Structure 1
Amino acid sequence: MNPVNAKPYDLPNDAVWLVTGCSSGIGRAIANLIASMPEHRLIATARNVKDLSYLPDNNPDILKLALDVTSPDSISTAFSSAAEHFGKNFHLDVVINNAGYSLSGDTESATEEETHQEMETLFFGTARVTTRAIEVMRQHETHRGGVIFNISSLAGQLGFPGHAYYHAGKWAVEGFTESVAREVHPDWNINFCIVEPSGVKTSFEGHSKAHTKPHPAYSGETMPSRILEKYVQLGIKSGVGMMEPNAVAKAIYNIACRGQPVPLRLPLGPVAWKMIKAKHESALKELESVKELSAMGKEIM
């Protein structure tokens, strides 16, 4: 099997970063971090470019672009604008697919429009930007390669009640990224990292968090989704176990800059690491418990 991220990655001194979803939260923290480093260049994107007003307008090393990841035309326009702005030697060194929002609520009540829009944003948007980035990274003569960070979540490893389509989108991102990472040629020097933070202190309400219409069959206080909602609200209010967006931004920056192999998966925060570890330990026990049943498949064949 083709190895993933087999060699140490050295970020160029004049690295160009493209970040989606920079209007708030993790994306905004990353954009501010890169903008504070004069040796790097930044392409900051958001659905509404007015949401990027916190970045300066008079710095040629900072390009602010409107980008809707659900629109192939919008993505093509953004990449063309970036190439035009930075000139003939345009290269991409780091791409961070951060755009997305959470869809929570009772799965039975989710509409076709809600579910398709969630998958378009979380998965297909990430896939579109990733494939365009690969094209740029593999073709450049002097800056061949780069790092593509696809922002997943603890929700990309564990499934919780009341978030079925959010999980579906994040799990799709994880499978897609691992497959593409094994598809690219090692000589291209393109590295992939699936970032899996747990709770992050962001302004996740509003356009970054959507809810399905409540379903009467799931309204009881003993329903799993209602119980989880209470725990989540307590966690948000207390801040216990929640990461700061700046901490996520610094972790991503350090992975890109440390001159070592890029991890394919990066659980961020002690909560994410412990819960993902426990999940895999439990999965191994379950795998052992069905060993004899699994062997029956051979007999049936």
Structure 2
Amino acid sequence: MRTSWKIATAATVLAVMLSMSSGTDARIYATGQAMTTLDKEQDVTLKEQARLWAEQLANSPDGAFAEWKGAWVSATALGPGTHSWLVMMKRGQNVVGYMIVYAKDGGGYVLGEYGIGEYPPFSSAILKSAITRLGLSETSMKATRLYIHPLLAAWQISGGIAGNGSITENHYTDAYSGEQLPIDAGQWAAAAAQAANADKHGIKNAHASISSAGAMASFDPYGRLPWLTQSPYSIAADPLSILSDALRDNSELRYVSKSFKGKMTYVWSVTGYSEWSGGELFISLDSEENAPIRRYIPASLLQSLGSFYL
């Protein structure tokens, strides 16, 4: 089964009506331009931290984030109790990328993932498309953001009215693609509980810088199916060197992960990387050739939740 980017979430959640009211829109420019007045004191560190990381990405040596130069940041909480935020990069009103930032125990923040493209996670356009595919009416419907980590995120859609006029059960759709997940509330809760106490992977240094980066042309992750015929290809010995060699040789490296006890198989093309000071490595993934969003996820998390194939 083909799927786009998969991520899930849970714990405490934010219920948002389909009107998709975004609340306070916090702006800060990514290239040192003046910030607007901040509405809440506790937001100051978050927005400044987002700016610091955004500046690093905007000047990435591979040029992948060039559109972030001059962009501004819109920060939205992912839900009460989750201590995480969706930070969107915008030029004018156009989204050019995103970051997801977690609060760190004891103070500070963790950069959990980031990406480029016009459709960030929890996009209202993707949500509305998912509702249409489910055959639901928007009347009295509630959509709840659920986020645990980059490979476990979804919308929970409840209270929708089906074509026959009945109130539907909960539906779960992928936070990135809008694809329906074949699970119920109990299965989601089980997956969320299993992942809830895991360490948060990502950038923990407030002043981290990008030391190297690389990218290659996008390719179809389903052009070959090595996960069906070959053993996994380990990158554990030296992930950076292995990725650099793959990009240099235009090798088609793929990443495969299964969720919900094998009910979902997710396949991505490996299309690049960002290496940060301190050795933290993020790997970029495409869900399809020339995907509308390219996601960068910590290599340590990917290695713990799936396998690579060459």
TM-score band, normalised by shorter chain: under 0.3
TM-score between the two structures when normalised by the length of structure 1: 0.25
Give the helix-richer structure, 1 or 2: 1
Question: Which protein is bigger by CA-based radius of gyration?
Answer: 1
Indicate the structure with greater strand content. Answer: 2
TM-score, normalised relative to structure 2: 0.25
